[in-house]
Structure 1
Amino acid sequence: MRLSNRNILLCCAAFLSGNGLHFSKAVAQDSAQPQLKAHRAHPAKASATPPAQHRRPSVTESGVLGPATPQTEEISVSGARRNADGTTNTTPGGGLMPHQTAPRSQSGVTRDFIAKQAPTGNISSMIANLPGVTFGSQDPLGVTGDTITMRGFNESQIGYLFEGAPLADPINYQPYTSMLVDTENLASVTVSQGSPDLNAPLFNATGGEITATALNPSHHAGGYMSVMGGTHSANKEFMRLETGDIGQSGIRGYVSFSHLSNNNWRGPGGLHRYHIDAKFVKEWGQDNSISAIFGYNAQQQTSWREPTAAQWAASKASVYYSPTYTPGNANYYKLNFSGFNSLDVVAPMHFTLSDEIHLNITPYFVHQHGPSTGGENIPASGGYNGTEQYGNLNQPYATNNTLTTASVDPWDQNSSAINNSISWTHGHNNVTFGYWYSYTTHQEVETFTPVNYEGEAANLYGKYPIYVPGGRILSGYNLNFKQQVNALFIADTLKLLNNKLTISAGFRAAMVSRSGTNNVPGADPYKVAGNYFEPLPQFSASYQITPRDQVYINGSTSFRAPESVEAYSQIFDPNSASAVEQPGSLKSEYDISEEIGYRHSGLYNFQISLFNANMTNHQVTSSGYLPYTNTLISEPINVGGQTSRGVQAELGLRPWHHFSPYVSGQYLHATMDNNVPVAATNAAGISVIDYLPTAGKKAVDSPKFTASVGLAYDSGHFFGNFDLRYQSKMYSTFMNDQSMPGYVVSDLALGYRLSKVGPLKGPKIQLNLINLGNNIYRSIPGSSAATAMSRKGIFGNSVSAGSPVYLVGGNFAALVTLSTGF
């Protein structure tokens, strides 16, 4: 049966191709080969897509199950030529609107867009134009310190998957996207703005899911290389070597290496990054495959200063670390930097056990470590190690009992996991069962190292710490943390009415167990444990009105365990006799969301959805400086309930006379449901808990309007890409008494590619102009506060003002890239 189906489809392909027609049914996007493909088979052995009842379920078919394989693909019959950079100029909207069929809000980007962006970017910067996405950067190159929100949810509430594995930090949920993959190897990114896949190995995705995939290895030996240079002394060198098919083994793969460096656009310092990507694939039989994906990253960057509103009004972008050192200057830039180092291994495996049964196994391992370093002045004697006062530290370079040090946090984290699922398809029904297990260990011991009179620290990696009299290490926190996750899910998908109607329902049970200790003297509690169990049902239904028109509805639930190790432990400082940071809320965030939507595909592609989300124990993630220090930590704040409602839409045109326009937008109405408890002082000067009247106030990090406009042109030789993004104001306080104004920013790419020059395939020159208007702006709040003005609480107690900090968007940059395949 399969053989005849394959022959029929190939004959149709030949007929359509011969008549210059295009047919594209994009299950998602592909980055691999231009020929007719199905299940990543070699072109010479390509098989047609089997009937629906014999296929592994995917996100585009059910929306509840999510992709059974992390490698998203486009099934196409087309005469389009794939260029050396992976572009085909076939995706609507210039690569910003691939075809979707999932019964939920879902958008994406393909190589048609990714390849034309600055090669310094990352996964987050690639999706900045999609509906519902608010992207805040700190540099024009997209290398460091960016963040996103979607529908008012910040990135710690969004699940990040790379090749089916959650490579974000499993405790503080930060994705560190610049560490994951070079954009030259990035095939596609898919964004689900409202709900995660039921089988996704995530327990923080209350705000949606972002799924990225790497390029598939080529069947032909060769490679790709590029060099880039530009403003801010930016330079990047990249090379990918492809093995092609290795004999008759069915194995093919690639390995790539890159180096990137640049100077900070404001203030001294900069970044150095070394990165390795590798991917190998083994395929055999009917839809059997094993992939091995490796990633290594070594990165060090000077930290950014995040100004308050008052500092911004006084100095704009001139708030940064000191370029020179004088004794006692803890703000010297060489004492304030971060290291982002990682090793990732993911091995997705897919097996066809029979025509009706398919097995998916994805083991993965992630190792991430620092250090994070910040300058601090501490007492040379009479300070505190936890709650114990110490005597003379007997350190050189002390002045007036003040010792300038570098506070070093060489955090280290390992996570091992396996995600499994088995699906049985019979007739029009598919049942899938899965299990995910993850084990994570985290160690974080702050140490201090002295700084000499020239600003040089004894050791910036924590190997030679300061000891207090008696032999203990001087530390503000000495954390050991363990986490185990067990999750089970079962889902059923039923196709009716000649496969026009698809109904899916599923249930997931997630169990998270955590325990941590703090070995600093006087820590109370010394040990904290948290156990979380959440039942998570999902439902969706879609109806294919015509082959090009679809309507859908869905209802989903999701939760997020408390964020960050600091939520469980006290933080101390040598300048204080008591803890400067107390444990946060240990309740899990729970979200119930609904969507209804419509989409059309064809010459123009259009989709619109209305959404509603209700959260309890909403954890607003804020980054704040520890008292006395330059150390930023995550501070989860439980603000109670929040309701987010709105509408999002996007429109993209298929290439027409080489032009592909795109537009997207979102209206969001997000409000707080409860009055927020805050620390206050009564008339007797005693600290108490009061409440601020925040119920009904606009939620922080939730712009009312966002919009994007794009226009792409690609003739095969000349190409260009213009995009413009608008974001309305965002509140940074729960009382709505401080906000960040809206802004507009735009980028432009221009280039020319040749077909072939000798052994060079598709040599290309590309110019990227970033932030064309050199707009100096605050891009997104970096922290939140209850109120920006001192005021009385509901019970008449005095509440002090807070000072939110902000990320500063990068200025203008120009980058030139030369690249070629070979």
Structure 2
Amino acid sequence: MRTKFNPMPMYLAVVTALAVVPAAYADSTDGATVDTGAVSIMGEGQVRASNAVERKQFQEQQPGENPIMVLKRVPGVNVTTADAYGIYEYGTDVEIRGFDSGQIGVTVDGVPMSSNAAAGGNPAGRFMDSENLQSATVAQGSGDLATPSANALGGSINYKTVDPRNQHGIQAQVSVGSFNSSREFLRLDTGKSSSGVKSFVSGSRTDTEKWRGAGKNTRDHFETKVQKIFGENKVGVSFTYNKRFDHDFLDMTLADYNQNGRSYDLNTTWTGNPLLDQRNYTGWTNGRTDKLLSSQGDFKLSDKMRLSLVPYYQKQDGFGTYNPGHNPITGAVELMFRESRYYTDRYGMTSKLSYDLGQHQLTAGLWVERYKYKNDRNWYTTLNSAVSGAPDRNNVVQTDFDRNFVTDTTIFYVQDSIKMMNDRMNLKLGAKAISVTRSYVDNLNNSNNRDAKYSKSFLPQLGATYQLSSANQVFGNYAENFSAPSTSVLTVGTYNPDLKPETSTNIDIGIRTSRERFDASLALYQVKYDNRILQIKDSTNRYLLNADIYSNVGSITSKGLELASTWRPTNHFNLYTSVTLNDSKFDQDYRASATTVVKTGGKTVPDSPQTMLFADASYHAGGYFAGLNGKYVGERNSTVDNTESAPGYEVFGLRAGYKAKRFHGMKNFKVQFNIDNLLDKSYLSSMYTGTTAGNPTYFTGTPRSYYLTVGTSF
């Protein structure tokens, strides 16, 4: 088969090469202050590959976007979404070095996001507004020992929100754009009182119609933070409320996409025919309400000892609906109303005690959490299927399941950070122990109740940095990680009590340079992912019960290269580039049944692009700013046997605006214009992978869209 040449990878690679050229003269120290909106910090001082996105970039993105979308610039990270804001969670995903979002550790202000699942989980985007975000730090290979996660086989993402301001004031911002979208944001800061207390409250509302088919996405968000600093101690309390509602986007097969294009979606006309109306958009809805209360405390116990505590409590309730076209008891053609409900209560605390001995800095930490989750699903008849799929709540036809889960997690770690060779070398060594206990109660049939415990008493990490010169640093890290099987493995018809936890071994080595006008980081890595638990599911029938089979099916080996660079040739211009080369392959075939062997040995892991390139050029002068970015994502296989794939694509974005500290009586005035998917590229974005061709389904990327934002403060 002939392959069409795509110049985009070569173009972005050349751009990256050009960014490296200035290193020859980057040692010049003209003393100029450079503030061009550079957003990537190359992880200086970290023993592992690490990149950070800073506040400037979050402020110049489209307001209201899921903060995860900015991470597309970080090498090793692939972010896919189904909508312009990234708030439709079933179509939003992040992948790092071949690991998906369920295998990455995530925190917000130190609070662990224990599950990224849209149903019953806590995706990080629910707990922050982009306007309140200070930074996001990505460790691509492995989170540090303090990362509070029992499923992080790969890297970690740590979000930090801004503190209350010392001066009182009001910040207001309004955005409008494509697909009848609108967003309002308002924040009030009290300023610092005479007693040292400061606080803020903020709220936002996001409304947008689906860009294909019919329906809408809405999000109401509220945040508050109170903080007091006394001496060398700090105490804060935070509360977040988030309520979202959306109509589903249809995930389509590759044949659907090729035949109908990117706008193919659910039906918009009610017919009275159950077999047609089961695909009407009005029945496909989701809603979640989350409340998160947390506290952050950092205390000086002595001149050499500090204690940090982060207790938290989260409560969630949610639902998902669908109108099946058949009766589940009789099988007759009849429009039904099916509703899944989700209830979550979780609480826990992270703690860290550090002791400074000069050459040695000792750290010990503990994370404990109880995660309670209830999930049920009922089928109802409809009131009048000739006109709508509204349910008759008094007539429950069937209850598919009614179940409760309790997960108790404990992680303990110790670490020693040792300064050596006149502080040129920093050696970090430590280990953690993990214990996860899961309990499953089937309220319909107690004979299915199950408990499982998974633990690992020794997971070592060893890392080091060495300062070659004032500008250059090498680093290396070795880490062993562990992931307990999910609660889903307890609910299947045939339970596998011999299922082993998944494990990974992550190795990073690299070099960083930090100059007056040039920064860069190069990382090489290898990851061995063992005891992989396979969840086999026909994605075209993924709503059926007990469609999953769970088994340990072997290992995956990933290796690759990540390069990031920032070049600041003038005080006004900044060029950031990143390159990712990744090779994630199955190490062996696996047996799907007594008679079926799936040939996966040597095949590429689905949804793991081998090549990604990103470039962002930004300009800041006076109050004016502008930026152009582009990302290339290479071909992604969507089946484990590599018989189907999503083509590679490139997407560009443009932004421009004006900021002024004073503008016609307004303070901190800003007007900003964003264009996403500048060239209106049609492409396949997020995917549900499958076993062989015809199984996978996809969400298509959002077409070109425009957004205008105006903001000020008083």
Scaled by the length of structure 1, what TM-score is found? 0.79
Q: Is the 8 A contact 2:496 2:550 kept in 1?
A: no
Aligned partners of 1:333 and 1:515: how far apart in 2? 36
Aligned to 2:638: 732
Summarize the Cα distance change of 1:693–1:98 in structure 2 as closer, same or farther, 3 Å threshold: closer
Is 1:480 the equivalent of 2:404? Answer: yes
Summarize the Cα distance change of 1:300–1:429 in structure 2 as closer, same or farther, 3 Å threshold: same
Give the counterpart of 2:326 among 373, 378, 382: 378
Aligned partners of 1:632 and 1:312: how far apart in 2? 28
Give the counterpart of 2:71 among 127, 145, 149: 127
Q: Is the 8 A contact 2:116 2:123 kept in 1?
A: no
Aligned to 1:674: 588
Aligned partners of 1:279 and 1:520: how far apart in 2? 42
Aligned to 1:427: 358
Q: Is the 8 A contact 1:308 1:804 kept in 2?
A: yes
Aligned partners of 1:628 and 1:649: how far apart in 2? 38
Summarize the Cα distance change of 1:380–1:351 in structure 2 as closer, same or farther, 3 Å threshold: closer
Is 1:466 the equivalent of 2:395? Answer: yes
Mapping of residues 640-659 of structure 1, within 5 Å: 640-654=554-568, 656-659=570-573
- SS of equivalent to 2:40: coil
Q: Is the 8 A contact 1:449 1:457 kept in 2?
A: no
Aligned partners of 1:748 and 1:633: how far apart in 2? 43
Aligned partners of 1:607 and 1:219: how far apart in 2? 35
Cα-Cα RMSD: 2.5
Give the counterpart of 2:699 among 807, 811, 819: 807
Q: Is the 8 A contact 1:519 1:526 kept in 2?
A: no
1:782-810, Cα deviation, whole Å (9 max, x unpaired): 2232x22xxxxxxxxxxxxx511112111
Deviation at 1:770, TM superposition (A): 0.3
Aligned to 2:17: none
Aligned to 2:491: 569
Q: Is the 8 A contact 2:102 2:115 kept in 1?
A: no
Summarize the Cα distance change of 1:379–1:745 in structure 2 as closer, same or farther, 3 Å threshold: same
Summarize the Cα distance change of 1:582–1:804 in structure 2 as closer, same or farther, 3 Å threshold: farther
Aligned to 1:38: none
Summarize the Cα distance change of 1:353–1:295 in structure 2 as closer, same or farther, 3 Å threshold: same
Aligned partners of 1:678 and 1:783: how far apart in 2? 16
Aligned partners of 1:508 and 1:323: how far apart in 2? 53
Aligned partners of 1:111 and 1:456: how far apart in 2? 46
Deviation at 1:169, TM superposition (A): 2.5
1:613-668, Cα deviation, whole Å (9 max, x unpaired): 00112246787657495999998775420000011001102472310001101111
Is 1:695 the equivalent of 2:601? Answer: yes
- SS of equivalent to 1:476: strand
Aligned to 2:385: 453
Q: Unmatched 5+ residue regions in structure 1?
A: 1-18, 23-77, 81-88, 384-400, 469-473, 571-578, 680-687, 789-801
Summarize the Cα distance change of 1:263–1:377 in structure 2 as closer, same or farther, 3 Å threshold: same
Summarize the Cα distance change of 1:174–1:726 in structure 2 as closer, same or farther, 3 Å threshold: farther
Deviation at 1:369, TM superposition (A): 2.2
- SS of equivalent to 1:720: strand
Deviation at 1:677, TM superposition (A): 1.8
Give the counterpart of 1:353 among 301, 310, 321: 301
Aligned to 1:530: 452
1:343-379, Cα deviation, whole Å (9 max, x unpaired): 1112111100011111111101122221111221332
Mapping of residues 557-706 of structure 1, within 5 Å: 557-563=480-486, 565-570=487-492, 586-602=499-515, 603-619=517-533, 625=539, 627=541, 629=543, 638-654=552-568, 656-679=570-593, 688-706=594-612
Aligned to 2:335: 404
Give the letter aligned to residue 451 of structure 2. A
- SS of equivalent to 2:488: helix
Summarize the Cα distance change of 1:624–1:140 in structure 2 as closer, same or farther, 3 Å threshold: farther
Deviation at 1:380, TM superposition (A): 7.4
Deviation at 1:424, TM superposition (A): 1.0
- SS of equivalent to 1:699: coil
- SS of equivalent to 1:710: strand
Aligned partners of 2:266 and 2:617: how far apart in 1? 39
Aligned partners of 2:378 and 2:30: how far apart in 1? 67
Aligned to 1:438: 369
Q: Is the 8 A contact 1:156 1:621 kept in 2?
A: no
Aligned to 1:555: 478
Q: Is the 8 A contact 2:585 2:605 kept in 1?
A: yes
Deviation at 1:170, TM superposition (A): 7.2
Give the letter aligned to residue 556 of structure 1. A
Aligned partners of 1:588 and 1:466: how far apart in 2? 42
Aligned to 2:674: 768
Is 1:110 the equivalent of 2:46? Answer: no
Summarize the Cα distance change of 1:495–1:189 in structure 2 as closer, same or farther, 3 Å threshold: same
Deviation at 1:456, TM superposition (A): 3.6
Deviation at 1:418, TM superposition (A): 0.7
- SS of equivalent to 1:410: strand
Q: Which is worse superposed, 181-190 or 362-371? A: 362-371
Q: Which is worse superposed, 721-730 or 693-702? A: 693-702
Deviation at 1:412, TM superposition (A): 0.6
Q: Is the 8 A contact 1:375 1:630 kept in 2?
A: no
Deviation at 1:142, TM superposition (A): 2.6
Aligned partners of 1:162 and 1:453: how far apart in 2? 44
Q: Is the 8 A contact 2:36 2:619 kept in 1?
A: no
Summarize the Cα distance change of 1:664–1:634 in structure 2 as closer, same or farther, 3 Å threshold: farther
Q: Is the 8 A contact 1:236 1:259 kept in 2?
A: yes
Q: Which is higher, the Rg of structure 1 or of structure 2?
A: 1
1:276-332, Cα deviation, whole Å (9 max, x unpaired): 01122111112x101112111110000111111121222122431111222212111
Mapping of residues 234-273 of structure 1, within 5 Å: 234-246=181-193, 248-273=194-219
Aligned partners of 1:636 and 1:220: how far apart in 2? 55
Deviation at 1:520, TM superposition (A): 3.5
Is 1:192 the equivalent of 2:139? Answer: yes
Aligned partners of 1:630 and 1:759: how far apart in 2? 60
- SS of equivalent to 2:259: helix
Give the letter aligned to residue 144 of structure 2. D
Summarize the Cα distance change of 1:141–1:381 in structure 2 as closer, same or farther, 3 Å threshold: closer
Aligned partners of 2:181 and 2:407: how far apart in 1? 39
Q: Is the 8 A contact 1:243 1:252 kept in 2?
A: yes
Q: Is the 8 A contact 1:155 1:174 kept in 2?
A: no
Q: Is the 8 A contact 1:260 1:274 kept in 2?
A: yes
- More strand per residue: 1 or 2? 2
Aligned partners of 1:444 and 1:330: how far apart in 2? 23
Deviation at 1:751, TM superposition (A): 0.6
Aligned to 1:491: 415
Q: Is the 8 A contact 1:140 1:812 kept in 2?
A: no
Aligned partners of 1:756 and 1:126: how far apart in 2? 29
Q: Is the 8 A contact 2:419 2:425 kept in 1?
A: yes
Q: Is the 8 A contact 1:365 1:415 kept in 2?
A: yes
Give the letter aligned to residue 779 of structure 1. S
- SS of equivalent to 1:726: strand
Q: Which is worse superposed, 372-381 or 158-167? A: 372-381
- SS of equivalent to 1:419: strand
Aligned to 1:229: 176
Aligned to 1:207: 154
Is 1:745 the equivalent of 2:667? Answer: no
- SS of equivalent to 1:408: strand
Aligned partners of 1:624 and 1:484: how far apart in 2? 31
- SS of equivalent to 1:402: coil
Aligned partners of 2:301 and 2:214: how far apart in 1? 58
Aligned partners of 2:42 and 2:548: how far apart in 1? 35
Deviation at 1:403, TM superposition (A): 2.9
Aligned partners of 1:308 and 1:375: how far apart in 2? 21
Mapping of residues 277-292 of structure 1, within 5 Å: 277-286=223-232, 288-292=233-237
